[in-house]
């Protein structure tokens, strides 16, 4: 069974919980609980499983789920003053710092933040694109991945717009905020074409899956809300799971009091 520390390393290339939530080393000693929550929200929006529900690539979906869970666990440690103090003193993200491996981190997220809807994502992206926060995230991803555009695109929430992403990085290089990494400079036209082809394929697959879900719902294109459909599917699956467990309990966990009572009654009748 994989440990939390191993999952951190696998998903984000580091066991540093502050790095995972993109909290800089110089700020980690003074960062407030509210700032930690904001950092967690920003990163969880990137890797929330609902953003990948239309993906045809199962590996990409599972990767997002795992990263989302690691982010949630990192937040659960750093947002608790006692756990954070222990982590800061030891630098070890021990399993004992986590409440349980069976926590439903998506349910925890929904309890903390507003439910994800298309409008909520659109509003968030409208504020985020072009903001200082976005530039800071692109800068962190560029430095962390040494200019590897494949990894940078996967790491930032606005990675679908590669031209704008490259423009921002080139501006950071021109102003001397970051160094010019060979991997970025030598990124070829063929590499860009390959990524563009992959994005087009993913967009087409997502559109196909969305249309399939819309037809199944019986709603028109104007009425259909993809995010609401995801929420309905989750609720339906949860209800089906609950109904199944109830049926199994009724079938296999029936009390045997009646049988014992019947035997006792028969014994009493024999004595008479």
Which two structure tokens, joined as six digits, stand for 261? 């009572």
Q: Is the pLDDT of residue 185 over 80?
A: yes
Q: What is the predicted pLDDT for the residue at 272?
A: 47
The backbone torsions φ and ψ at residue 229, rounded to the nearest 5 degrees and listed phi first, read: -65, -40
DSSP designation for 115? P
- pLDDT, averaged across the chain: 75
Determine contact, residues 177/143, Cβ cutoff 8 Å.
no
CATH superfamily assigned to domain 1-116:
DnaJ domain (1.10.287.110)
Q: What is the predicted pLDDT for the residue at 133?
A: 86
Q: What is the pLDDT of residues 121-165, one digit of tens each?
A: 677 778 888 888 889 889 988 998 999 998 888 878 766 788 889
Q: What is the predicted pLDDT for the residue at 142?
A: 92
Determine contact, residues 162/196, Cβ cutoff 8 Å.
yes
Higher-confidence position of 176 and 243: 176
- Please name the residue that has the structure tokens 């339906």: 236
Which two structure tokens, joined as six digits, stand for 16? 């540093």
- Segment 47-57 shows an average pLDDT of 67
Determine contact, residues 30/141, Cβ cutoff 8 Å.
no
Q: Is the pLDDT of residue 219 over 80?
A: no
Q: What is the predicted pLDDT for the residue at 41?
A: 85
Q: Is the pLDDT of residue 241 over 80?
A: no
Between CA 36 and CA 39 the distance in angstroms is 5
Between CA 141 and CA 24 the distance in angstroms is 12
Instruction: Report the 10 Å Cβ neighbour count for 45.
Output: 18
**Cα 136 from chain centroid?**
20
Determine contact, residues 199/160, Cβ cutoff 8 Å.
yes
The pTM (predicted TM-score) of the whole model is 0.48
Collapse the DSSP code of 133 into the 3-class scheme (helix H, G, I; strand E, B; otherwise coil) and give the result: helix
């Amino acid at each position: 069974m994989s440990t939390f520390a191993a999952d951190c390393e696998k998903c984000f290339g580091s066991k540093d919980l502050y790095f995972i939530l993109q909290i800089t080393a110089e700020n980690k000693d003074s960062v407030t609980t509210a700032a930690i929550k904001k950092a967690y929200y920003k990163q969880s929006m990137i890797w929330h499983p609902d953003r990948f529900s239309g993906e045809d690539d199962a590996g990409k979906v599972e990767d997002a789920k795992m990263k989302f869970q690691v982010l949630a666990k990192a937040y659960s440690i750093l947002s608790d003053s006692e756990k954070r103090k222990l982590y800061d003193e030891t630098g070890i993200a021990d399993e004992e710092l986590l409440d349980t491996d069976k926590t439903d981190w998506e349910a925890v997220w929904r309890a903390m933040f507003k439910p994800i809807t298309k409008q909520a994502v659109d509003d968030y992206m409208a504020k985020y694109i072009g903001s200082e926060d976005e530039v800071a995230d692109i800068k962190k991803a560029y430095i962390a991945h040494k200019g590897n555009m494949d990894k940078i695109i996967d790491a930032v929430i606005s990675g679908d717009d590669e031209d704008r992403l490259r423009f921002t990085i080139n501006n950071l290089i021109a102003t001397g905020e970051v160094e010019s990494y060979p991997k970025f400079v030598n990124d070829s036209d063929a590499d860009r074409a390959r990524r563009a082809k992959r994005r087009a394929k993913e967009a087409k697959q997502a559109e196909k899956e969305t249309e399939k879900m819309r037809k199944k719902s019986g709603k028109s294109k104007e009425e259909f809300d993809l995010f609401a459909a995801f929420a309905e599917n989750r609720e339906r699956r949860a209800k089906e799971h609950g109904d199944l467990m109830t049926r199994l309990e009724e079938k296999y966990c029936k009390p045997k009091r009646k049988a014992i009572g019947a035997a006792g009654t028969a014994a009493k009748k024999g004595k008479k």
